[in-house]
Structure 1
Amino acid sequence: MQLAATFRTGHPGRVTEAPLIQDHLLFLLTAFPHTLYALDLTQPGLPIKWQFRPDEDSAALGYICCGKSGGGMALADRRLYLNTPDGWTIALDTETGATLWAARTADPSSGETLSAAPLPSGDTVFLGNAGDRCGVRGWIAALDAADGRILWRRYSTGPDAAVGIGADFRPVQQADVAAERGVTSWPPSAWQQGGGTVPGVILRDEATGLILHGTGYPAPWVPDQRQGDNRWTSGLFARDAKTGMARWFLPINTHDLYGLGATAPNLLLDRE
């Protein structure tokens, strides 16, 4: 094993997003404010085939947590899908870098950002927001891969209809059989700034037609200010991929005392 080539981004921030490769191109994303490079692997020295720098809202820099770069990218069907911390989801043509569509999916003026890559799957792109520490209300959404149109959005706190809890919901804990737990397990109106964002990995199980995702910790951090179980934060959701309706929820850190959340990466596997 020996060094084949190097590339300098000229960007002062760290590169924290793993590069992606499709055919003869390597895609490299700098920290926010982003520059996306498409490098030609067939030529000596990794020459730039194209580069893309989206307009940025510098206010989002104040909401990126813990030294992370924010945002992320994913490949599917000759397209590169990009989430930016200032709330944009963008689809690019991988060969030319042309913008196919751009949708504003999050609002950084409220402390909301996009901190992870989207999940393209078939004709849908799934993504979730970040911003628990700012009191953002968490959600997961599905976009039409063709044009970026929002197909559905489901929340981690609030009324059953907004969370996506209906007749097919089978809770893991008996207490969650009761209606409107996303409201009644909070002090009055506290669910409206309750956290539970979806900044981690979203998984899709093709065999069952489900997507699975964790929810972040509840807001505010001071637990005495949010008495109750604080549903549906700090747990794991299974949802119907076509509608976003919840099938089950596993509480992991009920009334999360220490801001642990439940958004660490998960794995899907078949086993006895």
Structure 2
Amino acid sequence: MRTVRSKLLLACSTLVFSVVSLQASGQTLNRVNQEITDYSPVTKERLVEADPSDWLLPKGNYEGWMYSELDQINRENVQQLRPVWTYSTGVDSGHQAPAQVNDGVMFITTPYNHVIALDAKTGQLYWRYEHDNPSDLGVMHNTARGVALWEDKVFAAGLDGTLNALDARTGERLCQNVIGDWSIGAYITSAPMPIEGKIMVGPSGGEFGVRGFLEATDADTCETVWRTYSVPGPGEAGHETWLKEGQRPDAWKYGGGSMWMPGNYDPETGVLYWGVGNGSPWLGDQRPGDNLYVASALAMDPEDGAIVGHHQYHWNDSWDWAAMNAPMLLDLEHNGGTVKGLMTPQRNGYMFWMERKPDGEIKFLEGKPYVYNNVFTELDPETGRPSYDPNHTPVTGKRVGYCPSLWGGKNWPYEAFNPQTGLMYVPANENLCNSFIGIWQDDIDPASGQFWAGIDIPDLDVYVKDPNKGVGQLQAWDVNTREMVWQHDFGKTMNWGPVLTTAGGLVFGAGTNDRKLRAFDAESGEIVWEFPLNSTAIAPPVSYSVDGKQYIAVTAGYGVDAQWTNGVLAAKDETKEWISDVPEGGVVWVFALPNS
């Protein structure tokens, strides 16, 4: 089975995905340069408080804002910002994890599942953990997107489908839970999420026909507390949306819906919000029906994993428009009042405004495109349910093109919200489309570790709608007027950079092929500072402080989908304006103002 799977994965790697066989020793390597003797345990109270001197969660707070209250670095002095230390990870490929900081200790995760603990003030190494991935492991994306900090442990997921509890002081592995079976495609790239002594994480695997799920692990014992599947089984609400004539038998068993990015959480109501990925195979005509809860936001009870509410952004997903990012939690003006809201720019190219009820119900308020979408003809004003143009809806046996591409108007990189400006900042990609011919795969068993998306990878055509225009953008949207306030165009490069916004009136972002980290004026969109990095940074920038000094940190390291998509578009660009020669290599960059 693995021989067949390896051939398919290698074919995919040259065209779409970053598929990596990890040659490991089979043993965990833990190197301690200096034990951390004064470590501050991470508690529920500290996670809820989100002290701006720390960056404890991948997105900074439970609400998912990517916002720092620190203002020592601001629009008046940001021109003086300079690097104060760097640290080379010694690892290639796509670095996509934020620097997470707890009381002056920084934790970095890298491709191939290294975890590095550094002094956040000086960059000196405390310890390094290298995960014992199997030597024959092959995955589509070899990246990692952060850790979960809880009490005196660091929880790191592995590409081999494991969740590992490390001693925060030494990096020693204390216990492990096997979440997914990598041999069938259930590998993990997500940052785990800590809530009330439980660590939540879900695997990837939709392209292999793996049925998506989220699993909660006891932080003390590494034992499973609950597992909730995103595709409901017999007797569960929503199962009827998979029972249609003409579909594959038992399509729900391998229907996709991976929950492969961290969620958001409302501590006041105790409701957890998580995003659900694409359907499997990609062709919706092979699994007729709405296909809950594919391409949806789920509201869940973190105590037992029960689904208490949902909103499906588009039914019968046929475009690989995964809804993997949970909506951001924020207050919204609506009908003359203020509601507890949810807001999200989705991969399908639409911005959604919703209301979150205390019991978990999600109520649609409005949706509008933030990039060009030629699939949706309208959204139902009451429910948000879209109607489709059949000419741009993929089906089996026919070439169909659509916009935005399967990578979406925005992929996984985080948007940011600044409560001072009332603006949400979106790393967008406009003008990008694709086409393919859907195929029926009878010669491959789903959930067997073989590629099972329903397309012939060499047939996938990615292109720009208007060759004279660029793709990457940074957009700023007023969360209350629901209008775009400003937009910056990066030209002929995709934007794969998550963004950070601060109380200093700034927005930081990278992710473009010119390798620059930029600071924008949060109100006007004017570039007020920029700095060339060693490589393109596709990891989230963060801010923290040590001894009263504010720092900005980002990890550069090109690879995975950003590298492939930009390379394909550069090869097609007759003007030769598209930058494709971007060096690899992971480096942590930390910036600060000069000492006064």
What TM-score does the superposition give when structure 2 sets the normalisation length?
Answer: 0.40
Cα distance in 2 for partners of 1:238, 1:5 equals: 41
Is 1:151 aligned to 2:225, yes or no?
A: yes
Q: CA RMSD in A?
A: 2.0
Cα distance in 1 for partners of 2:120, 2:305 equals: 39
| Amino acid paired to 1:184 | L
Structure with the largest fraction of strand: 2
Is 1:111 aligned to 2:111, yes or no?
A: no
Cα distance in 2 for partners of 1:256, 1:83 equals: 28
Q: Which residue of 2 aligns with 1:40?
A: 119
Cα distance in 2 for partners of 1:251, 1:15 equals: 30
Can you list the C-alpha shifts for 1:110-159, whole angstroms capped at 9, x where unaligned?
Answer: 01111210101121111112111111100011111111111110111242
Q: Which residue of 2 aligns with 1:170?
A: none
Cα distance in 2 for partners of 1:70, 1:35 equals: 9
Is 1:246 aligned to 2:326, yes or no?
A: no
Is 1:204 aligned to 2:281, yes or no?
A: no
Is 1:181 aligned to 2:240, yes or no?
A: yes
Contact 2:273–2:326 (8 Å) recurs in 1: no
Cα distance in 2 for partners of 1:72, 1:25 equals: 14
Q: Which residue of 1 aligns with 2:134?
A: 57
Cα distance in 1 for partners of 2:90, 2:231 equals: 42
| Larger Rg computed on CA atoms | 2
Do the aligned partners of residues 96 and 146 (structure 1) sit closer, same or farther apart at CA in structure 2, a change above 3 Å counting? Answer: same
For 1:8-27, list aligned pairs within 5 A. Answer: 8-27=88-107
Secondary structure of 2:253's counterpart equals: helix
Cα distance in 2 for partners of 1:183, 1:194 equals: 9
Secondary structure of 1:192's counterpart equals: helix
| Amino acid paired to 1:122 | E
Contact 1:83–1:118 (8 Å) recurs in 2: yes
Shift, 1:224, TM fit: 2.0
Secondary structure of 1:224's counterpart equals: helix
Cα distance in 1 for partners of 2:309, 2:124 equals: 48
| Amino acid paired to 1:223 | G
What TM-score does the superposition give when structure 1 sets the normalisation length?
Answer: 0.84
72-81 or 130-139, larger mean C-alpha shift: 72-81
Is 1:129 aligned to 2:203, yes or no?
A: yes
Q: Which blocks of at least 5 consecutive residues in structure 2 are unaligned? A: 1-80, 333-337, 339-596
Q: Which residue of 2 aligns with 1:100?
A: 174
Determine which of 252, 277, 280 is the counterpart of 1:219. 280
| Identity across matched positions, percent | 27
| Amino acid paired to 2:279 | P
Do the aligned partners of residues 269 and 225 (structure 1) sit closer, same or farther apart at CA in structure 2, a change above 3 Å counting? Answer: same
Contact 1:71–1:83 (8 Å) recurs in 2: no
Cα distance in 2 for partners of 1:3, 1:229 equals: 50
Do the aligned partners of residues 249 and 58 (structure 1) sit closer, same or farther apart at CA in structure 2, a change above 3 Å counting? Answer: farther
Do the aligned partners of residues 222 and 206 (structure 1) sit closer, same or farther apart at CA in structure 2, a change above 3 Å counting? Answer: same
Shift, 1:183, TM fit: 4.4
| Amino acid paired to 2:118 | L
Shift, 1:94, TM fit: 1.4
By relative contact order (CA 8 Å, sep 6+), the higher-ranking structure is 2
Contact 2:200–2:217 (8 Å) recurs in 1: yes
Do the aligned partners of residues 26 and 71 (structure 1) sit closer, same or farther apart at CA in structure 2, a change above 3 Å counting? Answer: closer
Shift, 1:81, TM fit: 1.1
Do the aligned partners of residues 89 and 71 (structure 1) sit closer, same or farther apart at CA in structure 2, a change above 3 Å counting? Answer: farther
| Amino acid paired to 1:3 | P
Do the aligned partners of residues 148 and 261 (structure 1) sit closer, same or farther apart at CA in structure 2, a change above 3 Å counting? Answer: same
Shift, 1:216, TM fit: 0.9
Determine which of 41, 61, 73 is the counterpart of 2:147. 73
Contact 1:60–1:113 (8 Å) recurs in 2: no
